Structure 1
Amino acid sequence: MTPAASETDESTDSLISVRNVSFRYGDVPVLDSVSIDVEPGAFLGLVGPNGSGKSTLLDLMLGLRRPDDGTVSLFGEPAAAFDDGERIGYVAQDATEAGRDMPITVREVVRMGRYPKRLIGRFAAEDRRAVEEAMEQVGIADLATRRVGSLSGGQRQRVFIARALASGADLLALDEPTVGVDAESREEFYELLHELNAAGLTVVLIEHDIGVVTTYATEIACLNRQLYFDGDPAEFVETDALAAAYGKDQHVLQHDH
């Protein structure tokens, strides 16, 4: 999908639909007439230089901010009014670092994903089963009784993913989740995201490693205040969108998987 097409085509089936969105912090423009759709089951990689508006766009997609102009819908509703939070799993930039200070166990963190379903009453067998299955799915069942603060950065990432899966999330949004994580753990983490996406989970990822995004994402959006590219990763590496957005030549490194 090209930017021009996304501005004119209305998609009623998109999980997220951003239409002609602009956003400013005071007098500073951050996004300018951005339009993009995220279809169910997609793996969208958001790339762009620092300060390009990626995190702001993700916040708008999730209803955490309101656009100055344009509209954003989430699961077919205005994003800012969407209140079914259990359908969204969100891993922020500092989640891995914040996890260092968590004195609770892995299982207790993953159980948090079930809290919205049990505002009243005790946990049922289905809640306990969902927690155990989520930990098993991301490969941390053997860490269930460990304190989160004692884990490596890569292991903490998996804990937060498991919390989202336990909630039954349909959308997983991640903002540069591998900052400060070693290369081997990053590779394992993105293999996990690939597997979850292949199983039907919709993923929106902000990542500074463009090679990772072109390898694992099914769609790439290249952003620097405006949208320079939105489409297939294979087409992206053949265009000049990267150089245009970053203002210099960029080398895309493909990752084997």
Structure 2
Amino acid sequence: MTDLTTAASNSRTEGQPLAGRRALVTGGASGIGAAVVRALAARGAHVVVADIDTAGATALAEEVGGSIWTVNLMDTDALTDDALATAMSGVDILVNNAGIQRINPIQDFKPADFHNILTLMLEAPFLLIRAALPQMYAAKFGRIINVSSVHGIRASPFKSAYVSAKHGLEGLSKVTALEGGAHGVTSNCVAPGYVRTPLVEKQITDQALVHGIPEAEVLSKIMLTESAIKRLVEPEEVGSLVAWLASDDAAMVTGSSYTMDGGWSAR
């Protein structure tokens, strides 16, 4: 009789590198998250689509044969140890992706907006990592993949909360890598530039307003000025890199931040 571990291992050698794995992707119903969900599912993983958007998460989960976790990650009071233990049960690939953006000069930045961004994009990933690690340690396997940003290593004006949260996420990921290494758990960041998502499309309007320029000029004059490659990153490109980091091939990759920014951070 073939045990489940051996069967999963055999499946992974036959073109399904993530067969037998269970992944959870936050903010998984749209944008980068949806591309990550599809990439992981295409490689054989069962994917839990975690999102506040129940309808969107359900539709995507049905498409890829996954499941959903309807959750508001800004409501950290609801993220109790028991609730997280249930949600994270069996998860051996955790992708922290959920995010929001607000653009304003510091003097005009609402403290509530600053708090919400750090809660969603730094505190919630900490809580999910904290809940996932014990079972990953027990299994001697785990992948923590944090969707950071070029703003995790570079700053831009008018994004005090977002830049602070992403810098913090980069640090959290490195600490997780150092603690998890002895237990077969890796932790890495993926740091894209501007990705073609609804979040970025909304930023075009906000950037035009704060800089006093037409929306048609935002990409060339604001967003892509530092990039050697003058285009937006496609969500599927991010999904492909996340899927590789989740695989056995990336077992020695940890504590790293993979930029996908068209050369922005090379300056």
- TM-score, normalised with respect to structure 1: 0.28
- Whose strand proportion is higher, 1 or 2? 1
- TM-score, normalised with respect to structure 2: 0.27
